[in-house]
Structure 1
Amino acid sequence: MPPPAAYPGAMTTVLLTGFEPFAGDSANPSGDAVRAVAARWDRAETLIVEVLPVTFADAAARLRVLIERHSPDVVIATGLAGGRSAVTPERVALNLADARIPDNAGVQPTDAVVVGGTPDARFATLPVKRIAAAVAAASVPSSVSLTAGTFVCNAAMYTVLDATADRAGVRAGFVHVPWSTETAPAGAPALALADIVRALEIAIDVSLTSDDGRPLVGGEIA
């Protein structure tokens, strides 16, 4: 896997992750979209982008390394929700790994915890309602979701929230995206990859501002 893309800028750092293909798919629009965001990035903030393995253990471990190494102010992990037709910021992560199918390492946990000795659930610290509203206002379908499932996406979200729980001012969470029209299986709900990319850029924009529009700089509202 290539190293994360880094863009030097101001003291504010954004970590954006997607996932590799899984379950025999040839593409994953979350990975495609975060790479596209990186290719277009021209802001002052530092952007760290990485495409993660779809494995419970390795995705969690890599997220913790990235957070420890880069101390991001905003963390947005993304993944594919194949049956959805909208971009859906997630509000809640469960401390539960209960896989319907094996991950890409062949691991299929049942009724397991994501992180032992921690709460049963954690809430996103991203402004999920503002993100969904802003994305929808840009004519990209979007709504807040109350379930990230119990597969690797949920485990990644829970890990991100656990890893940032003691980091004051950090905004963190997860955004599910639908299939892109360019790679969707026949009959699957989908959005153009350009719309997914735009939605993630909007999610970053919103996460970098307070409710009244003031910028987030180095973990603090200016």
Structure 2
Amino acid sequence: MILLTGFEPFGGEAINPSWQAAGQAAADLSQCGVEAVAVELPCAFVESIAALRDAVRLHRPDLVLCVGQAGGRSKVSLERVAINIDDARIPDNSGNQPIDSPVRADGPAAYFSTLPIKQALQDLTDSGISAEISQTAGTYVCNHVFYGLMDLLAMPPDGGARGGFIHVPYSSDQAAVHAAPGMPVADMAAALRVIALTSQRTTSDLRLAAGAEH
């Protein structure tokens, strides 16, 4: 079972392409005979982790792909690391704005994705989809969910599954409004299908230079 999650709209946007892409990818995977489900998460610090935990415990996935929007980025971003900090530039959809607060007070400083991000990058590139390895998922609800996911999967009774976080750009319509890079939702969904299928079949990640100088 593959669980994909996306977020509700936030920051004044009418849509969130992470949810649109996650839903489309789950439907496409299901049509191909791969058991998959998509769940929409609230864009709120406290509520998002609770909803994610409920989804993991309900569906008992082997693989979890959490997806969020990174407006301004031009590529699908495979996130490498989640850090134990919330530092919100804007309030979440519940009006909360934590500053310099840990995701979990007694938690480790960071978690790494357990997805084969280098192999996924190679497979995305081979498929003609613009993608990159990202070294930061920010300090807003996306990183909060990424950290919460890896924390959840690291401990019983929810341990055992692999998971990680993917950022997608603005949709094409949003990009036109913001004069920023964008991507069709269909291409985002195709990227998520590639990442899901790559993650299912890959047990040892590829060694591929994809770091950053800054």
* Common topology (TM > 0.5): yes
- d(CA) in 2 for partners of 1:43, 1:118: 39
| Aligned match for 1:195, one of 171, 187, 204 | 187
Cα distance change, pair 93–212 in 1 and its aligned pair in 2 (3 A):
closer
- Equivalent residue, structure 2, for 1:115: 104
Q: Are 2:183 and 1:207 aligned?
A: no
Contact 1:182 1:193 in 2 (8 A): no
Contact 1:88 1:132 in 2 (8 A): no
Task: State the AA in 1 paired with 2:181.
Answer: P
> How many pairs were matched up?
201
Report Cα offsets for 1:54-95 as digits up to 9, x if no partner: 000111111111112222110000000001000011000001
Cα distance change, pair 108–26 in 1 and its aligned pair in 2 (3 A):
same
Q: Secondary structure at the match of 1:208?
A: helix
**How far 1:212 moved relative to its partner?**
7.3
Cα distance change, pair 189–68 in 1 and its aligned pair in 2 (3 A):
same
Tell me, which stretches of 5 or more residues in structure 2 are unaligned? 206-214
**How far 1:98 moved relative to its partner?**
0.4
Task: State the AA in 2 paired with 1:18.
Answer: G
**How far 1:118 moved relative to its partner?**
1.0
Contact 1:29 1:183 in 2 (8 A): no
Matches within 5 A, 1:74-89: 74-89=63-78
The alignment's TM-score, normalised by the length of structure 1, stands at 0.86
- Equivalent residue, structure 2, for 1:27: 15
- d(CA) in 2 for partners of 1:32, 1:116: 33
Contact 1:21 1:28 in 2 (8 A): yes
Which consecutive segments of 4 or more residues in structure 1 shift more than 4 A?
Answer: none
RMSD of aligned alpha carbons:
1.6
- d(CA) in 2 for partners of 1:109, 1:91: 23
- Equivalent residue, structure 2, for 1:219: none
Task: State the AA in 2 paired with 1:26.
Answer: A
Report Cα offsets for 1:183-222 as digits up to 9, x if no partner: 3233110111111110000010111012579xxxxxxxxx
**How far 1:39 moved relative to its partner?**
3.1
Tell me, which stretches of 5 or more residues in structure 1 are unaligned? 1-12, 214-222
Contact 2:2 2:64 in 1 (8 A): yes
Contact 2:153 2:160 in 1 (8 A): no
- Equivalent residue, structure 2, for 1:218: none
- Equivalent residue, structure 2, for 1:7: none
- Equivalent residue, structure 2, for 1:102: 91
- Equivalent residue, structure 2, for 1:145: 134
**How far 1:109 moved relative to its partner?**
0.2
- d(CA) in 1 for partners of 2:126, 2:13: 31
Cα distance change, pair 212–65 in 1 and its aligned pair in 2 (3 A):
closer
Q: Are 2:163 and 1:175 aligned?
A: no
Task: State the AA in 2 paired with 1:15.
Answer: L
Task: State the AA in 1 paired with 2:26.
Answer: A
Report which of the two has the higher share of helix: 2
Identity %: 41
Q: Secondary structure at the match of 1:175?
A: strand
